[in-house]
Structure 1
């Protein structure tokens, strides 16, 4: 069911893009230019393309809501934080780091001014 609604949603999105791109440009944002009714004049032009745009937009919003409802029903009963707290994850699997062979605290070589040997001597 979710796949069917998703395919319809994608088809609506593509057709909505196509219908919007095919409409005549009125020039200017919010219908302020170009004469025939825009968003600011109270009545829209009522052309076939305008009506088709509204129908596709309403259908797109309906499929968006349907997909949200389907996703909410398919979700598990717990939140993400509950799942993180219940899962032991990598923190439980941590082990103590192995000791270095020479017993030192760093794997980096000594600084240029240090005269310390790289390996402990058996004196």
Structure 2
């Protein structure tokens, strides 16, 4: 799949081209020097992000869980596909906003490591 990056962006050898410009059609969500994967996800709108965060808050309101369990629950409910990393990032964004919190307990991850159990803040 060809990415939507404008031709020639970030590829100029001009000394003033640092590649740090956020110009373009995706509202400043991607720089000219960003990799192809960033350009592929740039069209994700704030509405889609809030839908993802809403789904995560809904799941954590029903049952506190660690990130791997959250990813499984998200997929089992048939929500739109998102990577485990994106789901974890959305959960972290909810923590920053004060909508999700650490329960103070841990549970074993799929790999046997202690993982923080998260809950929605009422």
TM over 0.5: no
Q: TM-score, normalised by structure 1?
A: 0.24
More helix by share: 1
More strand by share: 2
**Rg larger in structure:** 1
